[in-house]
Amino acid sequence: MAVAALAEPVVPVRRTWVGLLFAANLGLFTASFTPVQILLPLQIAALGISGKEAALGLVTGLAAVCSILASPLAGMLSDRTRPRLFGRTFGRRHVWTLGGCLTAALALAWLGQAPDLVTVAVGWCVAQVGLNAMQASLSAAVPDRVPVAQRGFVSGWVGMPQALGLVIGAVLVTAVFAGVPTGYTVLAVVLVALGVPFALATPDDPIERTQVVRATWRISLREHPDFAWAWGTRFLVLLGNALGTLYLLYFLTDRVKLADPETGLLILIMLYTVGMVLTAVFFGRMSDRTGRRKIFVIWSGVVMAVAALILALRPTWPAAIVAALVLGLGFGIYLAVDTALITQVLPAANDRAKDLGVINIASSAPQVLGPAISAPLVTHLGGYPTLFGVTAAVMLLGSVLVTRIRSVP
């Protein structure tokens, strides 16, 4: 009989558990997204480097490579960790949550003092390693603890921090604590304050030595084709998201010519968050009640594609306001339902974190490809209308690809 750590969960999780996981993810995504959207562009622009777009793309691309490597590796180690203290064996997840959290916090504090582009790149890469180690363990909490019939609802709450984190981070680093160095320090504090309680206050079942399997990176796509299609769906949708959001600050500055682009970006982020909050938990719960996942993913892609087309056809401030809200509505549905769907196609219980780490590559790889694709589109192949048109096409293709999954309705 499988030990509790590997058993399929059947007991619904409580609201306090969901709240602590929500807080940990809020800290994680506040620290992950705020630098990319606000602090790194400001920091790189302040260095006076010619070609700020290419420099930002280089830094985010290198960090994404680190994410691609760190996420599945940390997940694989998390699946097999048996920490012992005073003769007692502890759970396999929380040690990685704590370790990743503290590593990222220290890197963020150091990053705020970076004097040149090389130091910025190194600091952000180290931060990404810590953040991805933390994310690997937190992602596994849903299949480890949450029954299938509750996963859409819980995934909605877990998904919302991806938008809320950026809003909170943007407010903190632009309106409350001015200055790039102070902003990084504040993010480090928020990460620790929100991330540590989940690791200290929730159960984490240990795995028995007999349940530890030999580590392997091989996943048989012939035996688990739905896992491959789920990976492809997430990769394309998030590639579209990377294409459409990386240069938003520069879009508002150079194309829309907004007088105060930083405030404008904050407004767009807040509208996007409102849209996400309105749809994530509601449609996650609806997918639980109906038992269907794919139809919600498809329609979320259609909604997000419409948002991108609005920017492609009308690169104005009023259009950007509408697009931000529409994008949030679609992305809220997508994150809640697709996350629940992915947990239902994982190949093996004793490799949950590693397999989710492989899925996380589909989130990190677009950060590498996004700059490589979007920079030439903006500078040589038609500018921002072309960029947002390609964004719409990629998102739509990714969401339709979910129809290839057979084991989940």
Q: What is the pLDDT of residues 390-409, one digit of tens each?
A: 999 999 999 999 999 999 99
Quick check: is 216 in a domain? no
99 — pLDDT class (breaks 50, 70, 90): very high
Tell me which residue range forms the domain holding 328. 15-202+221-404
Quick check: is 104 in a domain? yes
Tokens of residue 273, six digits = 């968050």
Rounded to an integer, what is the distance from CA 289 to the centroid of its chain? 25
What single string gives the DSSP state of each residue in 284-306? HHHHHHH---HHHHHHHHHHHHH
Quick check: is 78 in a domain? yes
Which pLDDT score, from 0 to 100, does residue 2 have?
Answer: 46
Statement: residue 162 has pLDDT above 50: yes
Which CATH number do you get for residue 37? 1.20.1250.20
Quick check: is 212 in a domain? no
248 — pLDDT class (breaks 50, 70, 90): confident
Using alpha carbons, list the distances in angstroms from residue 183 to 164, 178, 284.
17, 7, 33
pTM score, whole prediction: 0.87
Which pLDDT score, from 0 to 100, does residue 212 have?
Answer: 65
Q: What is the mean pLDDT of residues 222-237?
A: 93
Quick check: is 5 in a domain? no
Which pLDDT score, from 0 to 100, does residue 345 have?
Answer: 95
Which pLDDT score, from 0 to 100, does residue 49 have?
Answer: 80
Q: What is the mean pLDDT of residues 219-248?
A: 89
Statement: residue 1 has pLDDT above 50: no
Q: What is the mean pLDDT of residues 139-153?
A: 95
Beta strands 88-89 and 84-85: pairing type? antiparallel
Looking at every residue in the chain, the average pLDDT score rounds to 90
As for how many domains the chain has, the answer is 1
Quick check: is 321 in a domain? yes
Q: What is the mean pLDDT of residues 217-229?
A: 83
Quick check: is 77 in a domain? yes
The count of residues in the chain is 409
Contact criterion met (CB below 8 Å) for 251 and 262: no
Q: What is the mean pLDDT of residues 269-281?
A: 92
Q: What is the mean pLDDT of residues 130-140?
A: 94
Looking at the chain, the whole-number percentage of residues with pLDDT higher than 70 is: 95
Rounded (10°) angle between helices 161-171 and 151-159: 20
Using alpha carbons, list the distances in angstroms from residue 151 to 247, 288, 297, 342, 388.
33, 7, 15, 10, 32
Statement: residue 21 has pLDDT above 90: yes
Higher pLDDT: 175 or 378? It is 378
Contact criterion met (CB below 8 Å) for 216 and 76: no
Interatomic CA distance for residues 187 and 139, integer angstroms:
21
Quick check: is 144 in a domain? yes
